[in-house]
Amino acid sequence: MSKIVIIGAGFVGSTIAYALMLGGTAEEIVLIDKLKEKARGESMDLNHGASFVKPVNVYAGDYEDCSKADIVVITAGAPQSPGQSRIDLLQTNTAVMKQVVTSVMEYNREAILLVVTNPVDIMSYVSWKVSGLPHRRVIGSGTVLDTSRFRHLLSTRCRVDPRNIHAYVVGEHGDSEVLLWSSASIAGVSMNKFCQRCEHPCSEDNRNEISAKVRRAAYQIIDDKGGTYYAIALAVKRIIESILRDERSLLTVSALAELIPGAEDLYLSIPCILGRNGIEQVVLFQMNAAEEREFDSSIEVIKSALLQV
């Protein structure tokens, strides 16, 4: 039996529960929210679809229901508003994270913590420090979604199924994130070589435009409809599946960058192999000189943000 607890039953938390339910990912899903009637209403709404999915028990609970959970997903905190960067949420959500993690630890010190609250790299670090858990069991959703956005835009440009594209986004989940163009490939063929035979090759301007669209995607969606939740829910579902099924999938989650010089005591979004124990292995990735400079700048952004907390 697999049990997932989701703390925060807002748009993101409830959509994660919906995605898990549709995927038959867990047999037990608990929603916890300071607005108890919100969690109760969301769980009731989900349960009314029980005849259309695999057996699952969805219910509203409290922190004591974190007991025996395999994964505790934390989405609680102030959402990003139009005009705000993720870093703008720093002080408010740090206080929320400390309270939430402390409460979870009272009832379960064996679960994996999966942090979704923004700014996710900083909040993952705070959760690790507050929980006292091994860093391999404190994970942030990182740039899993940004990586998917990157692949989607490449798919549209190159007219190739995004599942056949290998391209990653690393660093901060935010404005300083780094798109790894130099190692991007399609079916094992580097982007540079693929472009030579493509009917729609990417010029430098095209690449800059795609990079900007990936970095600005959340702002556009927030301006248009108030928040992002469908794609991040699918990204979190993918992370959870890799852990519960011990798939050892490679995903760009937020993890302790202990192997990266200058970032040893930081959480960054980096390629990691995820399995039943959480972070099974950090995969060291290659960058060209320009990407290295961008990555160093991203590290400095996170260091600066940490000084504020």
For strand 178-179 and strand 169-170, is the pairing parallel, antiparallel, or unpaired? antiparallel
Which of the residues 48, 166, 173, 200 is marked catalytic? 173
CA dist., res. 23 & res. 45, Å (int): 17
- Count of C-beta atoms within a 10 Å radius of residue 90: 19
- Please name the residue that has the structure tokens 């519960």: 244
Question: Bridge partners of 171?
Answer: 269
Contact by Cβ (8 Å): 235, 144: yes
CA dist., res. 156 & res. 149, Å (int): 11
Structure tokens at 258: 């202990």
Structure tokens at 248: 């050892």
Which one, of 288, 296, 269, lies nearest residue 174 by Cα? 269
- Please name the residue that has the structure tokens 């929320």: 96
For residue 271, whether the previous peptide bond is cis, meaning omega lies within 30 degrees of 0, is no
CA dihedral 217, 219, 225, 229 (to 10 degrees): 60
**Alpha-helical runs (H) found in 10-117:** 11-23, 36-47, 90-105
Backbone angles phi, psi at 194, to 5 degrees: -60, -40
Structure tokens at 175: 């404005």
Examine the residue annotation and report whether 173 is marked as an active-site residue of this protein: yes
Q: Could you list the active site residues?
A: 173
